[in-house]
Amino acid sequence: MAHDAASVRPRAGRPPGAQGSKPPPRRDGERRTYAALDLGTNNCRLLIARPQDDGFVIIDAFSRIVRLGEGLAASNRLSDAAIERAIAALSICADKLKRRHVTLVRSVATEACRRAENGPDFVARVHAETGIRLDVIGAGEEARLAVLGCQALLPQGEGPGLIFDIGGGSTELVLVETIADGSCRILDWFSAPWGVVSLTEAEGAGIDSNDRTAAVAGYARMKARVAGAFADFATTLPRPTSPPRLLGTSGTVTTLASLHLGLSSYDRRAVDGLIVPAEAMRAVSLRLAGMTISERAQVPCIGNERADLVVAGCAILEAIMDIWPADRLGVADRGIREGILRSLIARDGAGL
């Protein structure tokens, strides 16, 4: 659910973001500002934008690794430390929303909040302390928004395409077809309960060590676990009559694309929309899987923050390429937030 600026600007007599609130009528010539906030199992990310031509221009952004789902697999609860990290990041987001005079915002939370027993309590605390109303969305809505946000980058070609989003707590696979206006229609979708955080915690023994043999064994376990989760969905996928089209949106694919390019630091302009040979992505994945954690931490675009989680992302990516053997992989540094923005702007009659 989208909320007006009251969601982040408390006022007397009415709780911020109260149900039923509507944005004020748009006046001709008024420059409205929109925001999309995505609180995932691993990251908290915000985009603030204004409509421009047939799209939008980003005027502010924020991203922070919060690891909200850390320890969730064992306890089925969000930990106190993870909650504090998330609220600290969301407080920064709330300040940005106020300073940018955001007109309409939608803030979503995904797998960690879906699974956690104390998810509702966390959502209520976020609202009370930051004014942000988190909408805990289902996996189907998560998949729809990801497709809406990145569909323009699906490699050209005939036949169905597969768009995937490797998250912190889950991975969404979406089978799509391109329609006359160039957009995508969802044919089928599947959500597996394995993302980079959940898979690392379940099968990552040895990945966080400097024992190379243990790291390789951990990678094999992770890939087998994900392959098993994908197996039933894989049997429903059509046999392509032309080269399969594949597009990924996640920190995993953008990081691996950066390594493929040999970047010394991450550059969105070089990565977003890149087409990479699938075998090149496999090669990068296997190279990382064979490293110790200290070696991975020294790799540009990975560092200490991603050194333990990137291997799980590689395992998930390889399992996806096994069931949808495309020769090329499209890379998108866009997804749920961009999908939210497009939805808000279109629904508000401001373009798109």
Which pLDDT tens digit goes with each residue over 119-161?
999 999 999 999 999 999 999 999 999 999 999 999 988 899 9
- pLDDT single digits (tens) 272-288: 999 999 999 999 999 99
- Both 132 and 159 in a single domain? no
CA 337 to CA 249: how far, in whole Å? 11
Both tokens assigned to 231: 């197996």
Q: Is residue 182 part of a domain?
A: yes
Q: Is residue 173 part of a domain?
A: yes
Range of the domain at 23: 3-137
Nearest by Cα to 330 from 272, 265, 284: 272
Give the domain CATH number at 34. Answer: 3.30.420.40
- Both 168 and 260 in a single domain? yes
Task: Mark which of 137, 164, 196 sits at the end of a domain.
Answer: 137
Q: Is the per-residue pLDDT at 20 higher than 50? A: no
pLDDT-based confidence at 12, cuts 50/70/90? very low
| For range 10-24, the mean pLDDT | 37
- Both 184 and 269 in a single domain? yes
Contacts with 62 (C-beta within 8 Å, 6 or more apart), sequence order: 44, 45, 46, 89, 92, 93, 96
- Both 101 and 171 in a single domain? no
pLDDT-based confidence at 2, cuts 50/70/90? low
Q: Is residue 348 part of a domain?
A: no
Q: Which pLDDT score is estimated for 207?
A: 86
- Both 81 and 95 in a single domain? yes
Task: Mark which of 117, 137, 157 sits at the end of a domain.
Answer: 137
Q: Is the per-residue pLDDT at 222 higher than 60? A: yes
CA 172 to CA 183: how far, in whole Å? 19
Number of domains, the chain: 2
- Both 186 and 300 in a single domain? yes
Q: Is residue 304 part of a domain?
A: yes
Q: Is residue 347 part of a domain?
A: no
| For range 59-80, the mean pLDDT | 95
- Both 24 and 46 in a single domain? yes
Q: Is residue 341 part of a domain?
A: no
Q: Which pLDDT score is estimated for 28?
A: 40
Q: Is residue 351 part of a domain?
A: no
Give the domain CATH number at 313. Answer: 3.30.420.150
Average pLDDT, the chain: 90
| For range 89-113, the mean pLDDT | 97
- Both 86 and 172 in a single domain? no
Q: Is the per-residue pLDDT at 21 higher than 50? A: no
Query: Residue 246's beta-bridge partner residues?
Result: 162
Q: Is residue 293 part of a domain?
A: yes
- Both 149 and 277 in a single domain? yes
- Both 128 and 189 in a single domain? no
Per-residue three-class SS string for 274-295: CEEEHHHHHHHHHHHHCCCHHH
- Both 318 and 188 in a single domain? yes
- Both 177 and 51 in a single domain? no
Between β-strands 34-39 and 43-52, what pairing exists: parallel, antiparallel or unpaired? antiparallel
Helix (H) or strand (E) holding 72: helix 72-75
Q: Is the per-residue pLDDT at 182 higher than 90? A: no
| For range 61-69, the mean pLDDT | 96
Task: Mark which of 87, 104, 137 sits at the end of a domain.
Answer: 137
